[in-house]
Amino acid sequence: MEWKANWIWDKSGDHPRNQWSCFRKTFSVLSEYESVTLSISADTKYTVYINGVYLGSGPVRGWTSEWYFDQYELSGLNQGENVIAILVNHYGIGTMHYIEGHGGLISQVDFYNKDRLINQLITDETWKTSNHKGFVKETVKMSNCLAWAEIYDANLFPNDWEKPDFDDTSWNNSEIIGSYGMAPWNNLIPRDIPGLTNEPTFPKSVLSLKEVQPIAQHYSIDLGPTFFKGEFASNSGKIMQGYVVTEIHSNQEMEGVMTLIFDAHAEAKWEFKLTGVEYKTQNGKYEKVKLRKGSNLLIIDVSGSFHEPIMSLAFDFPEKIELNAPFWGDKSNFLAIGPFYTDTRLQIGKPVPKTIPLTKEYLQMSEVSSLNELEAFIK
């Protein structure tokens, strides 16, 4: 096919992490036609609706330099006003089946009559766009092999945004980021396997029912943007040296448990310091800890080698605790100290380091036990 459409995107940036963006275009069918073909692709994946009816999703896996596109034959369009609505999810980071490209959408609708092209609808700056607030961006990856876990809150975004009568006048206009052939999608090739079906499946019976009580407080911290700025690959071992610090506020003295979790393949130190008490733990082990009334400084050594530099931290105390980054008030929960050293393993032509050098700053930070010492170290 001959592409006339543009690649478009919103204002979320080139590599937004776990971004969910909605795009809409209202169009009118003014002349008679025999067939209509929709050609579409997006980075990283899309779901498309015509007049509020689900049409399909894609694209299939591929290299960004030869990215796939899909085609659909449209039927039953209204004589008059119609709407095409597209939801795009951009990962913003690589996985084991995706190399990070760039947030983007390209779509072209071709109208034919007697094998002659009589009209086109292409992606351009007139398309309306909005961030889909129903999908929570601050979520985790189950592993470096997969994309982000989906957390969806239907109360946070209109559930009829893909329908023709939805009012999108308050939405922003899209931005043209380039024409067909732009990098990184130098060439678009047709899908080479059948599309997935989307069919409801209902259980025949319920064999058992069980209620699970989740741990009281849980945090997941993606250290990638801080310790590996500008890196988007997810299939290389990450070596880093640094700390994560938080100030735990408790209304009373109390005992509870804390657990620290990295990925299953991590070669971490598993060390943390709470109110000056040092702990050597294991992945996922529940450590019994004590909090004093008021401020409790928690310093976690996050040095080691990781498939995915994501740390999970969980607490279970009789009462809820508050976590604040020292010297930041309530603006953030955690403060990163470092990196004092970083490297990326398993790159072709690059030797694999056997040890992590102990930098002077890292060793100095290991002696910190109080807010006063931390403040002096940061200055």
270-319: pLDDT as tens digits: 899 999 999 999 988 999 999 999 999 999 999 988 888 888 999 999 99
Predicted local distance difference test score (pLDDT) of residue 141? 81
One-character DSSP codes across 266-327? -EE--EEEETTEEEE--TT--EEEEE-SEEEEEEEE--EEESS-EEEEEEE-SS--EEE-TT
Residue 120 tokens, joined? 């086109």
Helix (H, G, I), strand (E, B) or coil at 144: coil
Predicted local distance difference test score (pLDDT) of residue 234? 75
pTM: 0.89
Distance between CA atoms of residues 314 and 284, nearest Å: 9
Predicted local distance difference test score (pLDDT) of residue 89? 98
| Below-50 pLDDT ranges, the chain | none
Residue 321 tokens, joined? 């605790």
Predicted local distance difference test score (pLDDT) of residue 350? 65
Predicted local distance difference test score (pLDDT) of residue 349? 64
Predicted local distance difference test score (pLDDT) of residue 236? 67
The 128-131 sheet, strands edge to edge? 53-58, 45-50, 81-90, 19-28, 128-131, 172-173
For residue 306, how many C-alpha atoms fall within 13 Å in the half-sphere facing its CB?
26
Predicted local distance difference test score (pLDDT) of residue 347? 59
Predicted local distance difference test score (pLDDT) of residue 235? 64
Residues counted in the chain: 379
